[in-house]
Amino acid sequence: METTLIILKPDAVQRGLMGRIISRFVEKGLQIVGAKFMQITQKIAEKHYADHVGKPFYESLVRFMTSSPVLVLAIRGVGAIAICRKMMGATFGSNAEPGTIRGDFGVSNSFNLIHGSDSPEAAQKELGIFFADGEIIDHDRSIEPWVYDMTGGEPE
């Protein structure tokens, strides 16, 4: 199982899309193992986007991410990182395919509704920025055999 960080950005929160977006992940069969509605501070935003320091969009990105509350999620599943990124769609809403979160709900090339970790290493780092020890909860779901083929003893 893999755990990834998802952030429903200020535009998703302000547009009232949180429930519709969360339901997509849950209906897919992914498990929410952590959730936090929060206002990202300048310090957290700078830490999260440290790789983008010096890029032309950095200042406006930090300003945007600190402008309104966000919903931060830890989502778990087999291949969760790749699945979530595919569900999110292309970075820019204008380029995202219909059926994806950005393709269905976004048109802006700067407000793109959602962030998802792009690798296991990034997920581990990002989850550590937003969740303290004990805030991601491991719990069994009785539906696992209905989400994954468990005939071999492990989820496929």
> 154 lies in a domain?
no
Is residue 132 included in any domain, yes or no? yes
Q: Is residue 31 part of a domain?
A: yes
CATH number of the domain within which 70 lies: 3.30.70.141
Angle, helices 18-28/80-88, rounded to nearest 10 degrees = 140
Q: Residue 12 class from Cβ within 10 Å (0-12 exposed, 13-18 middle, 19+ buried)?
A: buried
- In this structure, is residue 150 part of a structural domain? no
Tell me which of 48, 52, 115, 139 is the catalytic residue: 115
User: How open is the CA angle 55-61-67, to the nearest 5 degrees?
Assistant: 160
User: In terms of residue numbers, what domain contains 134?
Assistant: 2-141
Lowest mean pLDDT among 32-36, 70-74, 110-114: 110-114
pLDDT of residue 156: 80
Residue 152 lies in a domain: no
In the residue annotation, 139 being an active-site residue is answered as no
pLDDT in tens, 4-43: 999 999 999 999 999 999 999 999 999 999 999 999 999 9
Is 35 contained in some domain?
Answer: yes
Q: What is the pLDDT of residue 42?
A: 96
Q: 0.85 exceeded by the pTM? A: yes
**DSSP structure string for 61-85:** HHHHHTSS-EEEEEEEETTHHHHHH
| pLDDT above 90: residue 65 | yes
Q: Which amino acid is at 23?
A: S
Q: What's the total number of domains in the chain? A: 1
Answer yes or no: are the C-beta atoms of 94 and 109 closer than 8 Å.
Answer: yes
Which residue intervals of 3-143 are DSSP H helices? 10-14, 18-28, 42-48, 58-65, 80-88, 101-105, 120-130
User: Dihedral of the CA atoms 155, 34, 25, 102 (nearest 10)?
Assistant: -130
Query: Would residue 156 count as lying in a domain?
Result: no
